[in-house]
Structure 1
Amino acid sequence: MKITIIGGGSWATAIVKILSEGNVHIKWWMRSSEDVEHIKKLHHNKNYLSSVEIHPSKVKPYTNLKEALRDTEWVVLAVPAAFLTDALKTITKTHLQGKKVISAIKGMIPETNQLVTDWIEETYQIPAQQIGVIAGPCHAEEVALEKHSYLTIASPNLQLANDFAALLRCRFVSTSALGDLYGVEYAAVMKNIVALACGITHGLGGGDNFQAVMVANAMQEIRRVVDVIAPMERDLSASAYLGDLLVTAYSQFSRNRTFGNMIGRGYSVKAAQLEMNMVAEGYYAVKCIYEMLKGYKVDIPITNFAYEVLYEQAPLKREFENLKAKLK
């Protein structure tokens, strides 16, 4: 089995580690030729999860994307959504023809306010039945430590979801399959917004009590959003939805929470981004969701709070008080 992984960050590295537990050959594309040479010589990613050993018998790194895509059955996208169009600019629909595409990206395409799967389907004419997403409460840092984690593969094609779930299943990762592609993907986008908002309010002095109320209200907000955008029967208490929200809202490893916390403590957006040196998907998702929902009558106080703070530069304390008044 040959799998191409696109992306060189922590989550891409974690997916390489998980898949390497199975009987697969991984073609790993990353932008930096220096990083590729480092992995070839020293068998680890020096920039992300550097403790993870990259097995040369199973993993071959590439800088040429077309070569990395040749003769593979699966393609896993693990590039931040804001940079995906640039990462794939050298390929056409013929390079993805007949391949199964799995998005490990929990964000939206900022230029078009689209889900990654919608953008892939439209841009590269990949049938929806050949597309899936990886979801669930699983931080890359804990994968590196081999802490037991749970992942859900969602796709309108349950056979595809089950097949890829089997590839990811290993001694420290349990997997399951789900048919709710859009619900899972929108919930993943929303939980990053919530985690960012939780970070902002924590930086402003909101304690554990307030954070718990925030998350409870956030689950209701997520339900309203996914029900209006992708209505269907779904159990939002499942780990792919609620579990992912909880770990992102509370974990020390959550980059969205960390980014928000820095904003709440007075950092500018640019300063926070530079200091983190990692992408917080929630920052871009806030604007995408805010603009996309303008035509819907749906109550999104937490998303509105994050948008006013991040994009309108509204006074933090004033917006915090406004949010307090809207939560129950």
Structure 2
Amino acid sequence: MEKKKPVIGVLGSGSWATALIKILTSNDNKVNWWVRREDDVKHIISYKHNPAYLSAVEIHLNKVTPVSNIEEVIKNSDWLILVVPAAFVKDALKGVDPQLFKGKKVISAIKGMIPDENLLISDFMEEYYGTPSSDTAVIAGPCHAEEVAMEKQSYLTIASENIEFAENLCEVLDCHFIKVHAIKDLYGVEYSAVIKNIIAIACGIAHGLNYGDNFQAVLVSNALQEIEKFVEKINAMERQLSASAYLGDLLVTTYSQFSRNRTFGNMIGRGYSVKTAQLEMEMIAEGYYAVKCIYEINKKLELDLPIINSVYNVLYDKISPFLEFRILQNHLK
């Protein structure tokens, strides 16, 4: 007997959420899609496209039900994929009865942390909504939404302590342009995804300051060492950081033209203020919030993380990028 596919709820309507809608429907899944603005829901129903993000992607309404009521999506779905920026997760779920999440599988496709609380999305969902880690998974790259929209061959990693759940999610996401595999390292993958956005900002700043490819190569290789130090201290286990979920995701985020964190960092390196860069981008650079979270966590860990410290100093202490990166040069090998 053929296994019944779960109904998937996608919470969020940005570019990555839209890309996931494309992946899910390419594999014939039924999807409930929470889109915050009712006007956007009406547009999608009328024109079969997201008006704000990846508008070239056709939305197949025979498989997708877009609605503006988040509780309706949660109630009518078996598995829930969270795809709102980390800074807005609390607001998006405000007022939602935690009982609605009972028995649901929750998947984070968010590459950030809850600001001020310094919580990973998986920890936040367990603490506030009672979702155990055995019912939680993380979708990791390397995978940019823009390339998904063009059906360029891409790869995803699903991380969960419940490997059977992870493998089932792989089957749901696997399609002709997406290859997916499962691993058990939930926390390592989630923290790596958070930190790689910080490193992408650092690479962007370096580019804005006119540093070259030689410097960026050293910056990225040193960054991988910082990721290794941090995740081993937080959650020591056997993991291979050269795998695509770690190194691959780091590389695509630090080098790609589609990386919003690199773009944000580039603007800072060229002299934009944080506020001006954020306004001009009109998209969230998760690394901006993430660096404060990681910096504050590291106050207790006391690890030597010069790249993360430098990005924090530039963004939050308003140290000149030029001066800060002159200092950083002496910490890299």
TM-score category, normalised to shorter length: over 0.9
In structure 2, how many angstroms separate the alpha carbons of the residues matched to 1:252 and 1:98? 40
Q: Does 1:216 align with 2:232?
A: no
2:304 aligned counterpart, secondary structure: coil
Pairwise CA RMSD = 0.7
Please point out which of 108, 126, 134 is paired with 2:131: 126
In structure 2, how many angstroms separate the alpha carbons of the residues matched to 1:279 and 1:101? 22
Q: Does 1:96 align with 2:96?
A: no
Q: Does 1:153 align with 2:169?
A: no
In structure 2, how many angstroms separate the alpha carbons of the residues matched to 1:257 and 1:58? 34
Q: Does 1:106 align with 2:111?
A: yes
TM-score by length of structure 2 reads: 0.98
Match of residue 9 from structure 1 = 14
Over residues 233-273 of structure 1, what are the superposed CA-to-partner deviations in whole Å (9 max), with x where a residue is unaligned?
A: 10000000000000000000000000000000011111111
Over residues 11-35 of structure 1, what are the superposed CA-to-partner deviations in whole Å (9 max), with x where a residue is unaligned?
A: 0000000000123211000111111
Match of residue 192 from structure 2 = 187
- 1:90 CA drift (Å): 2.6
- 1:66 CA drift (Å): 1.0
Please point out which of 38, 41, 44 is paired with 2:46: 41
In structure 2, how many angstroms separate the alpha carbons of the residues matched to 1:107 and 1:73? 24
- 1:111 CA drift (Å): 2.3
Q: Does 1:248 align with 2:253?
A: yes
1:175 aligned counterpart, secondary structure: strand
2:220 aligned counterpart, secondary structure: helix
In structure 1, how many angstroms separate the alpha carbons of the residues matched to 2:138 and 2:236? 18
In structure 2, how many angstroms separate the alpha carbons of the residues matched to 1:23 and 1:10? 20
Please point out which of 61, 69, 80 is paired with 1:64: 69
Over residues 190-217 of structure 1, what are the superposed CA-to-partner deviations in whole Å (9 max), with x where a residue is unaligned?
A: 1000000110111011111100010010
In structure 2, how many angstroms separate the alpha carbons of the residues matched to 1:56 and 1:94? 29
Q: Which amino acid aligns with 1:146?
A: E
List, as ranges, runs of 4+ consecutive aligned residues in structure 1 with deviation greater than 6 Å. none
Q: Which amino acid aligns with 2:322?
A: K
2:26 aligned counterpart, secondary structure: coil
Task: Quote the sequence identity (%).
Answer: 59
1:233 aligned counterpart, secondary structure: coil
The 5 Å alignment of 1:195-206 reads: 195-206=200-211
In structure 1, how many angstroms separate the alpha carbons of the residues matched to 2:216 and 2:259? 15
2:330 aligned counterpart, secondary structure: helix
Q: Which amino acid aligns with 2:295?
A: Y
